Each structure stands twice: as structure tokens, then as C-alpha cells.
Amino acid sequence: MRGFGNKLERLLAIIEKEWLQVFRDPSALLVAFALPLIMLFIFGYGLSLDADHVKVGVALEDRSPTARALWIAFDATPYLSPIFYADRGSAERALTDGEVRAILVASSDFSQQFESGIAPTVQLITDGSETNLSLIIEAYAQGVYARFLSNQGYERGISTSNLASRINVETQMRYNVSRLTRNSITPGSIVLILAMIGSLLTTLVVAREWERGTMEATLSTSVGKFEMIVGKLTPYFLLGLAAACICALVSRYVFGVPFRGSIFAYVLTSSIFLISATSQGLLISTVCRSQTLSSQIALLSSFLPNYIFSGVLFEIDAMPAPIRALTYAFPARYYTVCLQTIFMAGDVWPLLLRMASYIGLIALVFITAMIVKTPTRLE
Amino acid sequence: MIRFVETRKVFPGSESPALDGISAAVKPGRITGLVGPDGAGKTTALRLVAGLLTPTSGRIEVFGYDATRQTREVRAILGYMPQKFGLYEDLTVMENLNLYAKLRNLPRAQRRAQFDKLLEFTDLGRFQKRLARRLSGGMKQKLGLACALVTTPKLLLLDEPGVGVDPLSRRELWKMVRELTTSETVVLWSTSYLDEAELCDETLLFNNGKLLFAGAPSELSKRMKGRVFRVRGYDPARKRSEFARLSQEREVVDVLIQGDALRVSFRSTLSSAEVMRRYFPGLAVEEASPCFEDGFVDALVAKASEAKSPSALPVAQAPPESGSGGAALRAFDSSEVVVEARKMTKRFGSFTAASEIEFSIRRGEIFGLLGPNGAGKSTSFKMLCGLLKPTSGDGFVAGVSLRKSSGEARKRLGYMAQKFSLYGNLSVRQNLDFYGGVYGLSPRERRDGIDRALVEYDLTRYADERAELLPLGYKQRLALASATLHSPEALFLDEPTSGVDPVARREFWRRVVAFAAQGVAILVTTHFMDEAEYCDQIALILDGRKIAQGAPDAIKASAKRCETDSPTLEDAFIQLIERERSRTR
């Protein structure tokens, strides 16, 4: 029992020391608390900023005066800069060439639908990489149509109530079938934030000790692998968890994203993900022994792949098969599913547990590697 | 008690072993010094004892445990202070102590008493809440020692605790270790300072991974009894040429300049009358009491001549009779001032690093700048090199103002920086070529200069080798060759010999003395007191001010407490500092 008591004392000493160091080192606190907020706001607002003078190609397949009158109305709005094309083909070419960021196509039966009171169909084709653009343009198009409608009623001296009150916008995204909104991007950005924090915080800690010569002094005491690993993981894990909670609160109350699952499910899945991320960072740090090298390796092996393969920014289904296979090796992929489920759908336990166990499996690999690699000597 | 049994350690990728079959025993209750130059194998030996490295073959027994297989048991009785002290810089003094107390499982009940004792000894009680980062070098070292001693270990390993710490702090450290250890403690203390070795009860003397000597330091000195002599009465001008002549004498093992005197050791025992008759007619010769370093150099020279290895006997290699240029001694006016500091002051914000520093160096003079760490000697040195602009005052090199045209002044001087500042991945020849270019030599001058330097500094066989692969002593030669390629009028040396073994240091000084004999003005900073003895003038800097200046013998005399007292330069140095500190307090 005495042996265990001693071990526990050493473990607590290491945790306490790491904890003190975190609070003495402003950069660690910056990474843990300021960085998630900055990133969350960039993801939350940056991707849905309103745009002025968006260049939109307008193709008229219906040449009737009514149709023309509508499209002329587009010229009047300050938010869009329409460029007119005679047909769909030339407008699409302009989109592929990047001359316009979206095209609106009025089909040949536009005025016929309008006159008969059916909501006229307008096709909106956007570049799939600009996920929020279609929503913005659709809203503008509706606004333009509303003004056009009242003008028409005034000109014709008739009530507009029997005309279609809206146009029917049929949106097509080219090159990316998925549609992202803030509701799904915010849980996704939490994944990226925690992946980043988890690896950034821990990659430096062991390497720093090697560089400053304190590792040698620590190794010369009775400290074993258990204290070394658990003692270093715990503080950073807790820090990551705090960041995760902040992220959830900001998402819910600042961005108004629904949070349909339970806090318990959120903390559980986040904890497992953080264990995997921090132990990966610690493993890198242990192997590299140099701060510069380990932060670069962390960037390449943890942060960037999690970023790319999480499915948050790039649709996994749209990736080539070999790369799609690669995404299974990165925990961010599963954690994304967990968070999107918890935020958007609720506690779907069978799914959550399956995903969490995959993350746990990956974490287990890192921890095993770390047990092997954690030194008790200098070589 | 520790026993090394045929211990051998070869690091992967390295050809020569770091430790080459060492067998030795270390007894408790005494301080055993692991002595030797950098790269001799001291740190490797300590790390093997601590179980931080595993031996390639052989073993080490520590109080009956096998250091490699029973690491846990060994570490339970171990106190270890690595180089750089192993402190957490962003924790406070108390937090560091607490951390190590817990990591070493010091029972809670004993902590308070133990901390109080350690804080009292280290005089760190006032700084309990200060971050380790904000401590001075000397205080860090004491805190490091306190952390290692927190559990009163049976085995205390100290890895070069005296490096980069001034002599005053070093003495305090010795006192602490003596008083805080018991008659059961084994203390292993590694050092590259040979004067420190003399303070040890026992020494293990290492060089190139081999054990040259084991025993009390006095035993090694005893071997030199009747072989070391001090010679006085030289006309100062002849001292240097006599020094050069003697260093090539076959019977002479070693020769040193000590202020106005020469200290010479011989291969065999002689009487002073005989020495006087044979070598120094008309001069005062007295037998000197041999020191540890005499014995070390003798052991190295003996070893080298018996092994006939290529690195053998740099001592016996002809030092440049007239330094760079190969020309015969130039006549020069020894009253001409080459380097001058006039009320040089440097402030960094509100902190005054150097205050009204004044001195001048004449042709052929060696001027030493001494002082504890952080006293301002590097600042003064850098101002004279034109690397820092003085806040007020000015410096001159060969009459050129450093304030007005530091670029022009810099061309007149040769500068050898700490750690040599060589380009590790360039070859020896490329390094020389680069520095020749930097100092503005024409391609032709450069080519001739390089050819000459390669021969003179015995670097020909390394000419196309990458500089980083050279042995330390050769790196030092290359650095000196690079700094003097353009035949400067002034030569500035910033701690030029730290880490180099005594034999290479001697050879280096022979070259420096030869430059002085040619009329070059030389400014040098050093931590080694025996090197300060080579200087014509030394200035002692403390807290940014010059507190003393004079010839080494005059400085020593000024520190005399009574008629019979014969203080060493280090004693004098410490006394002057203490005197100054008590005056200003």
C-alpha cells in the first residue's frame, strides 16, 4: 500500500506542477481559451457574412416583356451585380471561368407560369465551395421579386393577390452536393477546435522538458511511466474539456444552434476524443524531444488530417476511394458524427456509442505506443 | 559505495567510446571528483550511475545494486543535479523544492524542517516566492543542489555544478555540499576546472573516455614533486621569447607564464641548483609546490607519447615562432596605444550594464577582462568589438572611433567569439575563405593566407573536413586562424578556451603569446585564473564598474592580508569582490 501511496503522491505532484506551468505560461491559456473562441467566431460568422455586389450571371430563356421586367429589376438592387447572358450555356461557361459566382436561369415558361398564378420557377446554380452563397442569393432574388410584383400591380392597376407571391427557386450546387449551414458547421468547428487544442497543448510539454534538461532530473527520481503519462495528460485533458464546454455554450447561446442531445453525451464523447488527441500530442512530443520538430509533426499528422478528413469542410463522400478509406483512421471523422448528432438530432445512443468506441480504439493505440515510448532512461 | 567494473559505453553512430572500459571504486563519506575536459566521459559516467544510460558492456554497482537492472532501487537513494540544474524555470523556489520533495516521496512531516535547513544554507529564504527563471546563475545552482539534497540522499551526483558560475559562488557550493552530506553519502562531482579537482578528497581523472588516474589529488601532484620550478627575474621583454623557447625544450613537460614569473615542469626530478645551472643562469629559481594540473598535463603527455596517437603531444608540436605571417619579429613601438576605452557606458533601459569603463591596451600587450557572470564584462567587450554602441563615451581601435566608424574599426581587429562561431557545415578551408572575405582580403591575399594558416595551425589534413567534425582543440585553432587571417592590429578573444582540455589550452596560449610578441594588442576574457596570469594587465569588472586594474602580481599583492600571505589570483579576485560588496552595501 505504501508503494501505491508514494506513486499517488508523485502523480499528484506532476499534475500540480503541470497545472502551475499552464497558468504561468500565457500561451497555453491563449491556446486553451482564446483560440477556441476566435475560431468559433470565424467559423460561425466568417462563413455566413453578407455579401455586396455579388456577380451573378442571369440567363433569360424566356424573352417575354414580363420576364424582361423582372430581370431589369435585378439591376436596381445594390447587393447583386447581374450580368446578362442570352442563354444558359454561355452563363454556365461564365460560372466555370469564375467570371460570376452564381447564375440564375429563367426557364422558357416563366411568364406563362407567372400569368397563370403559379410560382414561377427560377434555377439558381452556385459554386459548391461557396456553401452559403446560394442562401444569400435566394433571399435577394425573393426580395427583388417582391418589389417587381408590387411594380407590376401598380402598372397594371390590378391587385397582386392573385399573382404568385413568391418565385420558386430551384437551387443546384455544382461540384459539391452537400449543403452546409451554420447549424451544421458549428458542431463541425468544435471538432476542429478540439483537435487543434488537444495536439497543440501537449506536443510541447515533453519536448520542452527535454530541451530544458528537467526531464533528466525528473527521470532520476522514482517517477515511473504511469505518473509520467497520467500526470502529463490530466491537466491538458481538463483544459481541453473546459474549452469544449465553452464551445458548446457559445454555440448554443451566441449562435443559437440547437442542442438536442444531453450534456452527458457531449461530455462523454468529447472526453474520449480529447484523450485520443492529447495522447497523440504527448506521443509525438515524447518521440521527438524537440519543440520545433514535434509541433511540425503534430501539425502534419494530427491537425491537418483531422481538419481535412473530419468531413466538416470537405464532404467525405466526394473524396476518391483511397482517401475516403484514410479518413477512417482519424478520430475527428467519428467525433464529427457524434457532435452533429448531439446538436441536431439528440442522443442516438447506438450511433454515439459505436462512434465513441472507434475513437476509443484509436486512443488505445496512441496510449499503448506511449507506454512503450515513454522513457525511464535517456536513450 | 560505487564500483565501475570494466564499464564501457559506445554511443550509436560514434566510433570512439565515450567510456572505454573503466574500473574504479568510489567510497562514501568523501567527495570524489570526476575530472577531465569536455567530452572526456564525465557526464556519461554519472548518467550510467544514475541508470539513465545503459552500458555497452561491463557494469556498475551502486550500494550493492546493479545500476542498470535495479534502477528503481538506485533512484530511491539518489540525488542528482544535471547540467543546467534541472529546475523548472516557471515555478518558484518553493514550488521547485516542493515538487522534488514529492517526487522523491519525502514524508510530509519532515518537509518543513528540511526546507528550512536547505533555505538557510542556500540563503534562498528571502526568495521563496521568486520564479527560478529570475534567479542569478549562482542562486539557480544552489537551488538545483537543494532540490537534489531534499531527501538527504545516500548518493549525490553533481554534473558540472560549477560551470558558468563565478569563483565566489563556486566556493559557497563546496561548503554546502560538505556540510549537507553525511559520512555515508557518496558524492560524485564532475568538473572540468582542475583547481576545483584539488578540493576533492578523491579524483577520477578522465580523458577521451579513459581513466588516467584514480586517487587523492595530492597523489597526482606528489608525482611532480621536485619537477616544478618558478623562475623569476626576467626582464619583462624577454619573458615571452623565453617562454616560447622553453615550450620546445625536450626535457620540459610544461611551461606557464605566471605574472612576472615562469612556471616550468620537467620530465624528471631535478634540484633547483641544477635547473638554474642548466636552463636559467643568472635567474632566481625556486622549487614550486606542484598542483593537480601539473600532474594532469604530465599524465596526458606521458600517455600521448606512449600511444603515439595522431593527436599526440600537441605540446611538442612547434608553436608558431612568430605567429601568423611567418615573418621574423617585427620591431614595434610598445608605447603605442592600439585599443582604448574612454568612459564607455552602456545602459539598457534603466539598467546600467557598464559604467564609465576606461582602459587602454598598448602594442604587444595582453589585457585581461575578468569578473563574475553578469558583471558587465561581455558588454564592455562587445562595445569594443563594435557590436554594441555605447550609450556614452567611446572606444578606439588603432585610432579609429567605434562610435563614428565601427565598420572601419572592426576591420582593424580580429574577433574570436565564444563557442568559436564557425560554420559547422563548411569545410576548414571554406571557413577560412569566408572570414578572409569578410575582413576584406583580396582573393590572392586570401589564398596565400589560407595556405599559410593551414600549415601553421597544423590543419592541412583537415582542410576539406567539415568544421563541425573537428575535435574541439582543432576547432579552436581554426577559430583563431580565421580571426587572424587579415593580420589585425588588435585581437579580441571572448572566453576562447572554455571546454578545451589543458593541453590544447596551453598550445592556444602559446600562439596568443606569439601574437603579442609581434606587437598585436590582445584583449581577452576568461574564467580561468591561470590564464589571467598570462596577461600584462587585468581589469576586474563588478556590477558594471571597473573595481581594480593592474599587473597580476600587483593585484595579488593588493589582496595580501598579512606579510606572509601569498594569495592566488583567485583569492585576490574573491577578496576584491567581497571588499567592494561590503563597501557598497
- Min Cα–Cα distance to chain B from A379, Å: 6
**Quick one: CA torsion of B176, B182, B188, B189, rounded to 10 degrees?**
10
Q: What residue type is B571 in one-letter code?
A: D
Q: Which residues of B touch A222 (CB under 8 A)?
A: 72, 75-76, 103-105
In A215-274, the residues whose Cβ lies within 8 Å of chain B are: 216-223
Residues paired with residue B360 on neighbouring β-strands, in sequence order: B340
pLDDT of residue B524: 93
CA distance B474 to B500: 10
pLDDT in tens, chain B (585 residues): 899 999 999 988 777 788 999 999 999 999 999 998 777 889 999 999 999 999 999 999 999 999 999 999 999 999 999 988 899 999 999 999 999 999 999 999 999 999 999 999 888 898 999 999 888 777 888 999 999 999 989 999 999 887 767 777 788 889 999 998 888 999 999 988 887 888 999 999 998 889 999 999 999 989 899 999 999 888 777 788 888 888 888 888 888 888 888 899 998 898 888 888 888 888 888 898 888 888 888 888 887 766 544 333 343 333 444 444 433 445 678 788 999 999 999 998 888 888 899 999 999 999 999 887 777 888 888 888 888 889 999 999 988 898 888 888 888 889 888 777 888 889 999 999 999 988 888 999 999 999 999 998 888 888 888 888 787 778 888 999 999 998 899 999 988 887 677 778 888 998 999 899 888 999 998 877 788 889 999 999 888 889 889 998 888 888 777 766 777 888 888 888 888 888 876
pLDDT of residue B504: 81
pLDDT band (50, 70, 90) for residue A258: confident
**Closest Cβ opposite residue B82 in set A6, A24, A213:** A213
Position B309 scores a pLDDT of: 41
A172 inside 8 A of chain B by CB:
no
Tell me what pLDDT residue B562 has. 74
* Share above pLDDT 70 across residues of chain A, in percent, rounded to a whole number: 88
A chain contacts of residue B104, beta-carbon cutoff 8 Å: 221-222
Q: In what order do the strands lie in the sheet with B545-550?
A: B413-416, B490-494, B521-525, B366-370, B537-542, B545-550
Nearest residue of chain B to residue A6 (CA atoms): B105
Q: Which residue of B has its CA nearest to A20?
A: B91
3 state DSSP class of B329: coil
Inter-chain residue contact A24 with B147, CB threshold 8 Å: no
pLDDT in tens, B431-471: 999 999 888 889 999 999 999 999 988 888 888 888 887 87
A115 touches chain B (CB under 8 A): no
A325-378: per-residue pLDDT in tens? 888 999 999 999 899 889 878 898 999 999 999 999 999 999 999 999 998 888
pLDDT at A175: 53
Domain residue limits, chain A: 2-47+179-373, 54-164
Chain B positions touching A214 (Cβ under 8 A) are 86-88
Taking every pair of Cα atoms in chain A, the longest distance, rounded to a whole number of angstroms, is 96
Taking residues A182-200, report their average pLDDT.
81
- The pLDDT of residue B208 is 82
Q: How distant is the Cα of B188 from the closest Cα of chain A, in angstroms?
A: 15
Among B43, B52, B98, B156, pick the best mutation site for testing chain A contact (most A Cβ within 10 A).
B52
- Torsion, CA B20, CA B24, CA B28, CA B33, rounded to 10: -50
> Which residue of chain B comes nearest to A215, CA vs CA?
B86
pLDDT tens string B466-521: 888 787 778 888 999 999 998 899 999 988 887 677 778 888 998 999 899 888 99
Tens of pLDDT, residue by residue over B291-342, are: 888 888 888 888 776 654 433 334 333 344 444 443 344 567 878 899 999 9
Q: Contacts of residue A14 in chain B, CB cutoff 8 Å? A: 103
Identify the pLDDT of residue B22. Answer: 93
DSSP class per residue in A169-229: EEEEEES------HHHHHHHHHHHHHHHHHHHHHHHHHHHHHHHTHHHHHHTTT--HHHHH
Decide which of B550 and A316 is more confident: B550
Q: What is the separation of C-alpha B174 from the centre of its chain, rounded to a whole number of angstroms?
A: 18
- CA atoms of B446 and B464, how far apart (whole Å): 16
**Residue B55: its pLDDT value, please?**
95
Contact A21 B88 (CB under 8 A): yes
CB contact under 8 A, A217 and B81: yes
Residue of A nearest to B92 (CA): A20
Whether A17 and chain B come into contact, CB under 8 Å, resolves to yes
| Residue A171, pLDDT above cutoff 60 | yes
pLDDT reported for residue B325: 40
Residues 21-80 (A) with a CB less than 8 A from some CB of B: 21, 24-25
- Distance between CA A9 and CA B531 in Å, rounded? 50
Measured between CA atoms, the residue of chain B closest to residue A4 is B105
pLDDT of residue A129: 54
Quick one: pLDDT at residue B73? 92
**Structure confidence by residue, pLDDT tens digits, A112-152:** 887 777 777 888 887 655 555 666 777 777 788 777 777 77
Calculate what percentage of chain A has a pLDDT beyond 90: 29
Question: Which class is A54-164 in CATH?
Answer: alpha beta
pTM: 0.75
* pLDDT tens digit sequence for A205-240: 888 898 888 999 999 998 999 999 999 999 999 999
Q: For residue A283, which of A196, A195, A369, A378 has the smallest C-alpha distance?
A: A369
* A/B interface, count of CB pairs below 8 Å: 84
